Structures are given as C-alpha cells and as structure tokens.
C-alpha cells in the first residue's frame, strides 16, 4: 500500500513541474523532491549532482519527465 501512495505522489509531483512552475532556473535531467515528495528543483544535470544536494536536506531525486521548454539559440548566418 505504501508503494502505491509513493507512486501516486511521484506522479502528482511530476505533473506539477511545467513551464510556469518553480522548477529552477533551467530544466535539467533530474529533479529534487522534498520529504513530502513535492518537486522543488529540476535544475540538476546529473543524478550525482542531485543526490549530493538531497543527502544534506532529505528527499529524493527523480528523472525529469517534462522536456526542457527553453528554445534553442538561433544560429547567425553570415552574408
């Protein structure tokens, strides 16, 4: 039963991360949750980087399910 509750919390937390949410300065590959399984930061490039933060404050690291919404920079063409 506990696994079902955790899975539901993870799914709800992933849905909360989106273009208008407080998910860090830039969407990275990994997200940090707090101890209540609420996603608080999705700016981590690597799992190890996320784990280093979580080890000091608690929570979990989850793969970011929301693609980066930042547009790619335009290349300049020389004439």
Backbone angles phi, psi at 54, to 5 degrees: -65, -35
Whole-number pLDDT of residue 56: 83
Q: What is the pTM of this model?
A: 0.53
Which tops the pLDDT comparison, 60 or 6?
Answer: 60
Q: Where are the domains of the chain?
A: 2-63
The whole-angstrom separation of Cα 3 and Cα 11 is 12
State the maximum Cα–Cα separation within the chain, in Å, rounded to a whole number. 64
CA distance 44 to 24: 9
Tens of pLDDT, residue by residue over 1-46, are 544 444 444 444 444 444 444 444 467 899 999 999 999 999 999 9
Cα–Cα distance between 31 and 47 in angstroms, integer?
9
**Has residue 61 got a pLDDT over 50?**
yes
């Amino acid at each position: 039963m506990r696994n079902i509750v955790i899975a539901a919390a993870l799914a709800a937390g992933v849905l909360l991360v989106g273009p208008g949410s407080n998910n860090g300065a830039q969407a990275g590959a990994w997200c940090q949750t707090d101890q209540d399984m609420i996603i608080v930061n999705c700016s981590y490039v690597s799992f190890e980087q996320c784990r280093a933060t979580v080890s000091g404050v608690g929570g979990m690291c989850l793969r970011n399910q929301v693609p980066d919404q930042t547009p790619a920079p335009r290349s300049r063409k020389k004439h």
